[in-house]
Every structure is written in structure tokens, then in C-alpha cells.
Amino acid sequence: MKYASVTTSVFLALAFSCLSVSAAEYRQNELIVKFKPVPGASHVMASGKENRPVIIAVDNASEALDEMQGRSDVEYVEPNYVIEAEDIPADWPYDAAQWSALELPEAWDILDQHGPGHRVVIAVVDSGVDAAHPDLQGILAPGYDFANNDGVPEDDAGHGTKVCGIIGALGGNGIGVAGVAWNIDIEIMPLKFMKNNGGKTTGSLSDAVSAIYHAVDNGADIINASWGFYSYSHSLSDAIRYAQDHGVMFICSAGNKGQDNDTNGHYPSNYPHENVIAVAAMNSFGEIASFSNYGITTVDIAAPGVGICTTDKNGGYSTYSSGTSFATPFVTSVAAMVRYLSPGLGVTDVRSILLDSVIAGERLYFQNIASGGCINAYQALLSEAQYDASAKTSAPGANEDGDAAVASGEDGGGGGCLIDSGRNPGNPLGLLIIFSLTVLFRMPFMRRSG
């Protein structure tokens, strides 16, 4: 949910198209170019009918950019920026013993009472996954490695495996941790575009764009993008709009510079597309973490992002992962719960459900994000039931009362580090951590206008 107007977005896009290469890191020998459609010619980055951008090899990106901007057959040209995963050092000084309420056990109860739903495919566009990890067995769909151009998206950085574990690590198997969406029918599609680069997890813009098109073309319902950079990209905007046009949610991290994204660009979180949800990180005290970016018009919602327990590469576990990278899959997981119960909901409906159902409080910077609060799984599912019931009663031939029933549960806690004890993680005895939060106020959010 962004407040930038369409006019402002167009102005910024035109302004960026007239710039030479900025100080941002980019590949020196490549450019991303989208050619204007020409009858009988095909310029595509991936298979499909759409006119997609292509990568061209150049000797000097800066010089070639200036030369190509004036060509009549070019719609836009831009550097192939380097994108970085948005995690932070594992020794970030916060105590993860307590979290604000997500009401996950109550949400899990609703899901159990509902019975089987619709399978949800989540594309994790990241650094791949440890496919052999015992806590991720049976939930991984075929993926692809765009960084190395092969069909084995093996994770050499650990970042993607951490994200996958937060979403769907197996519950009730007596080992490791339980993911937020552990008890619904999900498939995680690992699409690798980043890899370990001297201790950093980085990848190219062009590979990220290719991965997004691949996700949409291969049946993804939701894309998780736990990464970002600080330069506007036409090609990335086009890819996310393509996802929107095909009903695919795009949930992304807000960034880790502690900045106001309203006045400082961060992408993809700042794009005003209806399918984008930008996620800030919340610490264990129920505050926006000091490293997290924020923005009343550009950052939508908060989620736990400090001291998260999750799966790691080589079959291991990370006990203290922090960053907006790891807040993002919490929101992705709740979006998956909503889609599991109501696959027919559009992207704007899912956004509204998640942002209308936040838990809000008078905390540091919570007034500086659009929804004013953190993700709440239980309230989101109650809202989903209301949306579903309303749709059924308004449909031709629906009975007076509709068909949907709203499940109820007691107010309670959720989890940021879900330790799998072998019991049903919906049972508080099966959790290491129970969350609590006094709800002080709820800040309404404004609708995206672009």
C-alpha cells in the first residue's frame, strides 16, 4: 500500500530513465534493455508472449547506457544492478524471549477445524534451499538456479533455507522448528538468483526478474522476496506487475538501513503495485527494530524479524537470524493461510485482509508504517471468513445466510521461534515461546493509489 500517486510514479520512472549509472553497484559488462515491439521480432527474457527485457553484453555499462537511451527502438535501458539479501549479523543485541502476539495457535485451530483447503505454491526467490534438510522434506516443488543456469537451486549461502524454514518447516516431527504455515498444504518453489559472494548473499537484477517471471509462469500463488536495493528498476517493476496481472502476491522486505522509505527509495518494496506488501522487522519488545526501514506510505506491516529460529544450510538450524528478510516470510505464511482457505480472493482482497487485521500499539515507529501494526494470523483468518461469507451471500443462488462459518478461539499468543517438541505446535505445551501483547490502539491504513 503506497501513497505515491500514479503521476508521481510516472515522473520518477521518467526521471530515472534519463540518468546515467548511479553509485549503486551493478555489473560492468551488461545492461537490461526492453525494446519496443517490432512485428515479426521477439525480445523476451523468458518464454511467453509478453515483450520482456533482455540482457545485452557491453564493454562499458555507463557509456553504453548513454548511447542506448537515445535509440528510437528502445523502450527503456538500465544497469544490471546487484541485489543483496536483507539479513543482518547474527549477533544483533536483542533478547528474543518475548514477542508481540501473532495468535498463531488460534489460527492453526481455525485451519484444523476447516479441514483440507487448496494447495498454495510459494515461490521463494532467494539463494536456493538445502533440499536435503530433514525439516523441509515433502514441501519443496521443483525449482531453478538462475545464478548458475541449472535445475538444482542448492543453497550455498543459507539465506533461502532460513526463509523456507520460517514459512514451512515441518511441525509435529519431533525435530528442529515448526514453520508458521506448517499445517496447511503448501509447496515451496525455490528459485535461486543469489549466492554466497565473499560472505554476502548477492545476485543480479536480471536473474531476479527472470525468477519472478518463472514463478508466475509455473503456478506460484505467492512470491517471497527477502531482498532489495536502492535504485529504481523498470524491468523489476514490469515483472511484479506481470505477477499482479496473474493474481500472484508479491511480499517483500522493507530494508535494513533504518531509513524512511517515503523519502529514500528502496525496491521492490516501494513499488505501488496492488500485489506488493512491504514488511518491516519487529523486535522482541513489540517495537520496529532500529535497523528496519519504515515509511507511512511505503511500508505496509510489521512482523517478527529479530532473533528468529529457523532452518539453515547443511541440515542445521539458525537460532538467532535477524533482518527484514526474516520478517517477510511471516507475512507470506499468513497470506498463504488466507489463500489456502479462499483461493478465489484477488490480490487486493488479500492485502486488505492482512492489513486490516493487524495488532497495533503505541510503539516506536509503529505510527510510521501504513497499517500501524504487526501481522496477526488469527484475526486475518477471521477477516478471511467474513470476506468469504460476504462473497457467497452476494453470489447468484446463494442462500440467505451464505455457506461460510467463522471459527472462533480464545485470545492468546503466537510464536516467532517455534520449537518443534513432537507435539502439535498449536498446543502451547509444544511451543518454547508464547507471545503476549496488550492492544492499545489500531491505526487505519490508506489505500494504495498507484
**Residues identified as active-site:** 126, 159, 325
Q: Which of 167, 104, 101, 171 is nearest to 409 (CA)?
A: 104
Distance between CA 274 and CA 407 in Å, rounded? 28
Q: Determine the distance from the C-alpha atom of residue 176 to the mean position of all C-alpha atoms in its chain, rounded to a whole number.
A: 23
Alpha helices in 133-281 (DSSP H): 159-168, 205-217, 234-245
Q: Which of 94, 19, 33, 8 is nearest to 307 (CA)?
A: 94
Grid look-up 467474513 returns: 386
Distance between CA 427 and CA 334 in Å, rounded? 18
Q: Would you say 29 and 56 are in contact if contact means Cβ atoms under 8 Å apart?
A: no
- What grid cell was written down for 431? 511451543
Q: Determine the distance from the C-alpha atom of residue 158 to the mean position of all C-alpha atoms in its chain, rounded to a whole number.
A: 17
Q: Which of 72, 81, 104 is nearest to 28 (CA)?
A: 81
DSSP codes of every residue in 120-180: EEEEEEES-B-TT-GGGTT-BPP-EETTTTBS--B-SSSHHHHHHHHHHPPSSSSSSB--T
Q: Which of 155, 205, 223 is nearest to 34 (CA)?
A: 205
Distance between CA 150 and CA 143 in Å, rounded? 9
Question: b/e string for 258-296 if b means 16 or more Cβ within 10 A?
Answer: ebbbbeebbbbbbbbbbbbbbbbbbbbebbbbebbbbbb
Which amino acid, one-letter code, is at 259?
Q
Residue 153 backbone dihedrals phi, psi, to 5 degrees: -80, 60
Is residue 363 classed exposed, middle or buried when 0-12, 13-18 and 19+ CB atoms within 10 A define those classes? buried
- What grid cell was written down for 163? 526463509
- Give, as one character, the DSSP assignment of residue 134: G
